[in-house]
Amino acid sequence: MPSAEPDRKKSALTIRTPEPADYARLAELAGELGYPSTADDIARRFAGLARISPQHAVFVAQRAGEPIAGWICVAVQGTIESEPHVEITGFVVGSEFRSQRVGERLLAHAEGWAREHGANTVRLRSNVIRDRAHAFYLREGYEHYKSQKAFRKQLR
């Protein structure tokens, strides 16, 4: 009878802010989300976020020796029609890392960041085609409270 290979416990998942060496992987994951990007695009966008406001943050999840498993981008939003809240503006877990609690950990970290920034509510938008993501958000205690159409205009 062949011997079973011993269970190897995966190293702990670390949540941290990204570094320039991570930009290529962040771009790859943005592509999985449906937003093709390059490392240069990510670097330029990070620089833009830094100029806009310290009320933005990006976090990555990674296990030692593995590629970044996912990332989440959050921003404090203030409007005249509602109390300040945090919006998750981007969130993706690589296909090979899904169903491993990576998304759960990133979401919990983002919620902690929101509390630290005085927000009592976290909001997000998710494309209607992302049924698996919708089920995840509902499991994590989010409620589907509104449906809307998105519009844009390219300014040249």
Determine the Cα–Cα distance for residues 34 and 48; give it in Å rounded to an integer: 21
Determine the Cα–Cα distance for residues 61 and 67; give it in Å rounded to an integer: 9
The set of residues, in sequence order, having a beta carbon less than 8 Å from that of 119 and lying 6+ positions away, is 76, 84, 85, 86
Q: What is the mean pLDDT of residues 104-122?
A: 96
Q: What predicted TM-score, i.e. pTM, was given to this entire model?
A: 0.87
Beta bridge partner(s), residue 70: 61, 93
pLDDT digits 0-9 by tens, 115-139: 999 999 999 999 999 999 999 999 9
Is residue 10 very low, low, confident or very high in pLDDT (cuts 50, 70, 90)?
A: low
CATH pick for 13-139 out of 1.20.272.10, 3.30.360.10, 3.40.630.30, 3.30.1050.10: 3.40.630.30
Does the pLDDT at position 4 exceed 70? no
First-to-final CA distance of the chain: 69
Determine the Cα–Cα distance for residues 94 and 42; give it in Å rounded to an integer: 17
∠ CA 38-43-49 to the nearest 5 degrees?
125
Element (H, E) at 30: helix 23-33
Q: In what order do the strands lie in the sheet with 85-93?
A: 13-16, 56-63, 70-77, 85-93, 122-124
pLDDT digits 0-9 by tens, 25-77: 999 999 999 999 999 999 999 888 877 777 999 999 999 999 999 999 999 99
Does the pLDDT at position 143 exceed 90? yes
Domain ranges of the chain: 13-139
